[in-house]
Chain A
Amino acid sequence: MPSDEELMEAFQEGDSRALETLFERHAKGVHAFLTRMVQDRTLADDLLQTTFLSVVRSADRFQRGLKFAPWLLTIAGNAARDNLRHRKLNVEVLPTDEEGKLPEAVVEPAMSDPGQRRRIERAFAQLPEQQREAVILHKLEGLSFEQIASMLEITSTAARIRAHRGYERLKELLEEPS
């Protein structure tokens, strides 16, 4: 089975079926990443399309030696951040309802302790955008701080600090009485 990088090179050489395979492999993962980033499923749907359109339009910007998955997540992250900025939907200040309550998290709560899960999901949704992105990339996507730094064009120390602050903030939010 060809690797993602081999498929991307094939696409760069004009093989559109390679792009289709990459889409099959990564569309759901990218959508999950986007849903967590923007906390809005409809926006995540739109951004999924934007992300893959960017892959098509900028295939030549993928250079030899790069890993495809982090490159794709970089595109998705860029699209998410830019759209949040333009929509003034930055989740650092989450919209509240008339009673001042936070909206339900879009990520489904689950399994053993639904109440606790839901609290974590809500706390996660309240993290500042940069911290949430660093936590997602490190803990959920399994990327190293060096990879995150390269993706976000920051130093690895800055990536580490963002993630660390994210965990600290998450802890604080979870310790607050509900």
Chain B
Amino acid sequence: MATNELPLSPPEPPSLEVLAKARAAMQAELKAPRRTWKSLVLQLSGTLFGLSAVLTGVLLAVGACTIDMVSARSVTLAALVTVGLVSTWASLRPQGRPVRLVSLGLLALTAGLLVLLRGAGAPSDQPQWVCTVSHLGVGLVPAAVVILLLRNMAPNRLRSLVAGFAAGTTGAFAGELACGQSAQHVALFHLSAWVVVGLFVTFVSSKLRPTTYAP
């Protein structure tokens, strides 16, 4: 592996004690249960999908939305679920910078779709920031799950950002179900919350020590 083209001498090798310690730690670790990256993807997908389903049920039950509204927003709701799942896979899989970039592009397209398909909307008697706060509140659980799962791989800003945006899809999903305001409102008060969730996950993840540094 090494070529040593620079005129640098090799550093002093590790002591036998250091090697023995590393070996012992490895042997002990072999007995610990391990989680595969596919199981992490399933866990986060389940959280996002489950939370979206529960939100739909609750909002329908309390009358905050109707079957007709769900049906009318089916394109954006389906886009959010799809991009959430794709981003989950892209962010947690090994390697895969290109797919994470593609996923980021899909997230941007979906965000654009939410604005474009909203139209004029209807006025609401609630302050506009209620949507932002709700979006953030709904995003808390998936954001926490994402942050925990990201500790199972090497820290990487792009990975964390995509995972954070994946977590933010549930808040956007709630916004599509419960809010009937204009495209401008969606752009300012929904998408900003989505961005905050993504940046929050990226920031917190960068502060935590991972349990493994594998890419």
**Min CB gap B19→A, angstroms:** 6
B95: chain A residues at CB < 8 Å are: 63, 66, 150, 153
Q: Is the interface of A mostly helix, strand, loop or mixed?
A: helix
B65: Cβ under 8 A from any A Cβ: no
Other-chain contact of A51, B13, B32, B213 (Cβ < 8 Å):
B213
Question: B11 — nearest CB in chain A belongs to which residue?
Answer: A35
A134: Cβ under 8 A from any B Cβ: no
Pair A82/B213 contact, Cβ less than 8 Å: yes
A59: chain B residues at CB < 8 Å are: 34
B30: Cβ under 8 A from any A Cβ: yes
Q: Mark A132-155, 1 if CB is under 8 A from B, else 0.
A: 000100011110000000110100
Bin chain A's interface residue count: 35 or more
Q: Is the interface of B mostly helix, strand, loop or mixed?
A: loop
B8: Cβ under 8 A from any A Cβ: yes
Question: B29 — nearest CB in chain A belongs to which residue?
Answer: A56
Q: Mark B1-15, 1 if CB is under 8 A from A, else 0.
A: 111111111111111
Contact flag A60-B36 (CB < 8 Å), given A49-B25, A106-B11 = yes
Question: B96 — nearest CB in chain A belongs to which residue?
Answer: A153
Pair B23/A23 contact, Cβ less than 8 Å: yes
Other-chain contact of B11, A16, A31, A50, A51 (Cβ < 8 Å):
A31
B112: chain A residues at CB < 8 Å are: none
Pair A28/B14 contact, Cβ less than 8 Å: yes
Pair A23/B22 contact, Cβ less than 8 Å: yes
Question: B14 — nearest CB in chain A belongs to which residue?
Answer: A31
A57: Cβ under 8 A from any B Cβ: yes
The 6 closest A-B pairs by CB, nearest first: A58-B214, A142-B3, A110-B9, A78-B213, A35-B11, A61-B94
Given contacts A31-B14, A57-B32, list 13 more A-B pairs with CB under 8 A: A19-B26, A23-B26, A49-B18, A58-B37, A58-B212, A60-B38, A61-B153, A71-B215, A82-B154, A109-B9, A117-B9, A139-B4, A153-B215
